Amino acid sequence: MEKNAVADRTKGIISIVFVMLIWGSSFAVTKTVVQEVSPYLFATLRHIVACALLLPFYLHQRKKVKQQLPYKRLAVMGILGITVYYGLFNFAMLYIPASTGALVEGLIPVAIAIPAAWLLKEHISGRSIAGIILCVTGVVLVGFVGSPQGTHTLRGSILMLLAVCCWSAYTLLSRSLKDTDTILATAISTFIGSAFLIPISAVELYQHGMPEISGRAWAGIIYLGVFASALAYFLYNKALESLPAAQVGNFLNLNPVIGAVIAMIFLKDTFTPWQMAGGVLVLAGIWLSSKRVKQ
């Protein structure tokens, strides 16, 4: 049993690190696409791709797994984690730089750890608290002190902060459903959340018409739909089966580090010494919080 638990935990950590590599790139990609496509139409197109990819896996798994599914909670997951979250996220990226968006999302660990301790009765050790403090300090260095960007727009920051709250709720709901089949939970919540996106994007189309979407933007939409939505959501929910919600939330602090590197390479952003120092603190905080404590 102990070996199985360690193996599951290792797989969970590998999964969440891979997810962070994908999601860390999503800031720069989203920033590029929202310059051409309105926020909710962008979210809808992205998740149509994700749903098309998830559908055959869902149908195959549904034949094998006969468990009763908690549709109400999955619906809430889909609405919060997809419909509302991506609307807020995409609108925020219209007003703020990719690095600022990553910074505000660095508050997710705190937004997850405190409710997880209260609602899911997850113990927050001194080691985890120290890791969170290191991560948040690193995020401040990456996004505020060392950022070469100008002052961010208050409106965009507020929208991103609201998105953080939605993601915290999504994570806690997913953690509470750890006994539900991961493929089914991911697919159903994605289907429901995507369905609610369609009428909102229809309103955008009615108001503004269908935009001309370049090949570069279509590539970004497909990339985010396949990897950042379908695959990453599955791996994220899989990681929550074997890792505490607070620890998974702490890994999300990799986003500003990865986002800064990608912005430096592809968007020609500069990478300052303060950002490098912040990246080291983020990695140290993640290592500290994920280090196994003997019972």
DSSP string, 51-111: HHHHHHHHHHHHHH--PPP-HHHHHHHHIIIIIIHHHHHHHHHHHS-HHHHHHHHTTHHHH
- The residues, ordered by sequence, that sit 6+ positions from 72 with a Cβ below 8 Å of its Cβ are none
153 SS3 class: coil
Dihedral angle, C-alpha 182, 186, 192, 198, nearest 10 °: -170
Closest CA to 175 of 105, 269, 73, 90: 73
**CB-hemisphere CA count at 13 Å for 77?**
23
Token output for 127: 């080691």
- For residue 80, what are the contacts with CB-CB under 8 A and spacing of at least 6? 166, 169, 170, 173
Cβ within 8 Å of residue 185, ≥6 positions away: 69, 74, 77, 174, 177, 237
Quote the pLDDT of residue 293: 42
* pLDDT tens digits, one per residue of 130-186: 877 887 787 777 656 655 555 456 778 788 889 989 998 998 898 888 888 988 999
Asked if 81 and 170 touch (Cβ cutoff 8 Å), the reply is yes
CA distance 33 to 37: 6
Mean pLDDT, residues 210-233: 93
Taking the C-alpha atoms of residue 273 and residue 142, their distance in angstroms, rounded to an integer, is 9
Give me the pLDDT at residue 52, please.
96
Q: Which residue has the higher pLDDT, 155 or 213?
A: 213
In this structure, of 41-45, 105-109, 161-165, the range with the lowest mean pLDDT score is 105-109
CA proximity to 161, closest of 115, 92, 94, 114: 92
Name residue, tokens 């070469």.
Answer: 148
pLDDT tens, residue by residue, 49-68:
999 999 999 999 999 888 88
C-alpha closest to that of 31 among 89, 117, 70: 89
Burial class (CB in 10 A: 0-12, 13-18, 19+), 268: exposed
Kindly report the pTM of this predicted structure: 0.80
Mean pLDDT, the chain, integer:
83
Confidence of residue 295 (pLDDT cuts 50, 70, 90): very low
Per-residue model confidence (pLDDT) at position 255: 74
Give residue 131's identity as a one-letter amino acid code. G
CA separation for the pair 185, 182 (Å, rounded): 5
Distances, alpha carbon 243 to alpha carbons 5, 117, 149, in Å: 10, 14, 35
Higher model confidence: residue 255 or residue 79?
79
Q: Name the residue with tokens 């968007």.
A: 267
Task: Determine which helix (DSSP H) or strand (DSSP E) holds 272, and give its type and residue range.
Answer: none
Lowest-pLDDT choice from 141-145, 276-280, 285-289: 141-145
Give CA–CA dist 229/222, Å, rounded. Answer: 10
Torsion sign over Cα 263, 29, 241, 139: positive
Residue 130 and residue 118: Cα distance in Å, rounded?
19
* Predicted pLDDT of residue 270: 61
Q: Which two tokens stand for residue 9?
A: 């935990």
